[in-house]
Structure 1
Amino acid sequence: MPADNLSLRLEVENLYVAHHGWLHTWLRRKLGCAHRAADLAHDTFMRLLARDEPLELLEPRAFLTTVAQRVLANHWRREQIERAYLEALALVPEPLAPSPEERAVLLETLCEIDALLDGLPVPVKRAFLMAQLDGATQTEIAATLRISLATVKRYLLKAAAQCFFAMKLE
């Protein structure tokens, strides 16, 4: 393990020992569930371990709050996607419904797509999803969103570039 990674690991370990209980309590108040709070506290510290640079914290609790709020936002976003997915799945006739394994893969894929499109304006995301998931034509997207065909093309190109370059960075 390189010295930088060891240094970061020790920083996170010290932060964990000193503040995990406090963070768990803070998250439990936000969520109303000790089990989910424990999961998100764990995710918060895992996110810190994934960093490349040292923490060098002056205000550890403020820093943990910021990181935990991002983890919490991702959690709520995933729940929202899962709810929408399950609502859409309820409309599928039983014989055509995917297996539990397929559902898990599809949900994970939807969350990955959402993460790739993060930061794009809502109309750009909507146009892209209409084209990719609904199979809508550019003309149909233009009519539905009440925008020009040129704007649809620009939106689709912008979303595709966002996905392509995000995937290239991984």
Structure 2
Amino acid sequence: MPVPNPSLCVETLYNDHHGWLRGWLRRRLGDAHQAADLAHDTFVRLLSRDEHVAIQEPRAYLTTIAQRVVANHWRREKLEQAYLEAIAQDPQALALSPEDRAILLETLVEIAGLLDGLPVLVKRAFLLTQLDGLNHAQVAEELGISVTTVKRHIARAARQCYFPDALPVKA
């Protein structure tokens, strides 16, 4: 039995539900242009899947994917706003070319995505060592936890960054 071509399935979904999805996103975001962009991103995400998925409820399926796309969009906006606020405080220290700024923001978004789902203390311990350059004792003092716990948190976050597709390890 031949395997269905995933791009044909996406084409059918697009033809049948793109207008509805764009309207659904516009009602939630209040911006028709942003809704069109995120509807497009939703279908791009579908096209990038390797496996074929049997979809019984297309609108529910598209809604789930679109909600993830919107969450990623908001996360990116939040990171970009934090970056712009940091630049406003010390513009000379962070004077980057537009290309370097785009690369930095993409990297921050990727790191945030990799750390997503980890407990706040694990993220903070990791970021304090990696971005602020604090040693384990300083992080322990800052967070009010033991050095051993700091090491465990950093190892957990590093595992998540280096091996994001691995099964989660109980810690």
Give the Cα separation in 1 of the matches to 2:115 and 2:93. Answer: 32
Matches within 5 A, 1:1-170: 4=3, 7-94=5-92, 96-166=94-164
Structure 1 letter corresponding to 2:12: N
* Most deviating of 87-96 and 37-46: 87-96
How many residue pairs match? The answer is 165
Structure 2 letter corresponding to 1:23: L
Structure 2 letter corresponding to 1:143: E
Give the Cα separation in 2 of the matches to 1:68 and 1:143. Answer: 41
Q: TM-score, normalised by structure 2?
A: 0.90
Shift of 1:84: 0.9
Shift of 1:85: 1.1
Shift of 1:95: 6.6
Listed as ranges, the gaps of 5+ residues in structure 1 are none
Shift of 1:163: 1.2
Give the Cα separation in 1 of the matches to 2:165 and 2:5. Answer: 29
Shift of 1:52: 2.1
Give the Cα separation in 2 of the matches to 1:96 and 1:28. Answer: 35
Q: Which has the higher helix share?
A: 1
> Matched residue of 1:98: which SS?
coil
> Matched residue of 2:164: which SS?
helix
Alpha carbons 2:87, 2:94 under 8 Å: kept: no
Q: TM-score, normalised by structure 1?
A: 0.91
Listed as ranges, the gaps of 5+ residues in structure 2 are 167-171
Give the Cα separation in 1 of the matches to 2:91 and 2:75. Answer: 27
